[in-house]
Amino acid sequence: MTADLEAQLRAVSLRVTRPRLAVLAALRDHPHVDTDAVIALVRADLPAVSHQAVYDVLRALTDAGLVRRIQPAGAIAHYESRVGDNHHHVVCRSCGTIADVDCAVGPAPCLTASNDHGFVIDEAEVVYWGVCPSCLTPNTASSEEGST
């Protein structure tokens, strides 16, 4: 697996460093985590890595297109290594859990703007909001059914 991560870094002309490998591995194994979680995951392998080093790595990986930064309204930034495809996210209003949702329509931008104002649109970002199964209680389910 490390060879694959090294190849990803080299493919975008980034030096292979232990912090970069550790961040990529953390995001591969734990999608949709915030910066604090990335720092904790990286420090499990590299205890001496600084907060700033992780922030710098996340920025470099995001700028290079190896990592995607997502920030649903009202939430802190989260990161994932699933890039280069056309997917969206669903966010739990209760606990903040984020999950991937594949686009049901097809290739990017999968939605057509009613007026593009002359822009060449190459992406549409959709965030679905709801309550995840872990937070859903019998009371929540019956009150939601009554409101539809």
- Tens of pLDDT, residues 45-97: 999 999 999 999 999 999 999 999 999 888 899 999 999 887 889 999 999 99
DSSP 20-78: HHHHHHHHHHS-SEEHHHHHHHHHHH-TT--HHHHHHHHHHHHHTTSSEEE--TTS--E
CA 117 vs CA 109, 120, 126: distances in Å: 16, 9, 20
The whole-number average pLDDT for the span 22-50 is 96
Looking at residue 93, its pLDDT comes to: 92
Looking at residue 138, its pLDDT comes to: 64
**What confidence tier does 139 reach under pLDDT thresholds 50, 70, 90?**
low
Grouping H, G, I as helix, E, B as strand and the rest as coil, residue 11 is helix
Looking at residue 102, its pLDDT comes to: 87
Query: How high does pLDDT run on average in the chain?
Result: 89
**What confidence tier does 148 reach under pLDDT thresholds 50, 70, 90?**
very low
Percentage, residues of the chain above pLDDT 90? 67
Looking at residue 114, its pLDDT comes to: 84
The whole-number average pLDDT for the span 31-36 is 96
